[in-house]
A = this chain, B = another copy of it.
């Protein structure tokens, strides 16, 4: 019977392992696909100024760097949360699935911002961008709520770590919502908030670690 319990525990461990590995795979692929949006500029033989054409693409580079580090920090946070978890269930599986779906979507609003940041369509483009991150921050809260239940949480998990992560995550939805609300009026302010937030999360992560 003791053996049976140990065996069951090992199976559940393995289940969490495959969920983490699958999630890592999706994060790694989504973050790498961001770079596909860096397009080769087309210059003609008559005006072969490739250097200027490359520099003119700076909104692509800005959107790429912002999205890359935002997704990287999400991955670090995902990792910090699952370190505190010792098994999975239906609810955590689907909250995590929703989060992964939104993470795979990130290259899309990134490409929209890269294309339209310097055009009159910038307000709509940046609203979409910030809106996707509002959804992602809500999905992260759903994952947190599913993960930090007594049946899921590792009994050895540090209460301080759980409380700190829970507290820091409260900032996600309101701050990204502020960016989404600001976007129609000032796309640049909204992009600034998004870029500022990954730096904020990075510093928050340092304190958690």
Contacts and interface: CB of A to CB of B under 8 A. Distances in A.
Interface residues on A, range: 35 or more
B48 A119 contact: yes
B26 A18 contact: no
A18 B24 contact: yes
A81 to B, nearest CB: 12
Interface string A92-134: 0110010011001101100110011001110011011000000
Contacts of A43: 116, 121
Q: How many copies does the complex hold?
A: 4
Given A93-B76, A111-B40, A104 B68 contact: yes
Nearest to A21: B24
A89 interface: yes
A144 interface: no
Nearest to A69: B97
Nearest to A154: B11
Interface stretch (A29-37, A135-143, A162-170, A189-197): A29-37
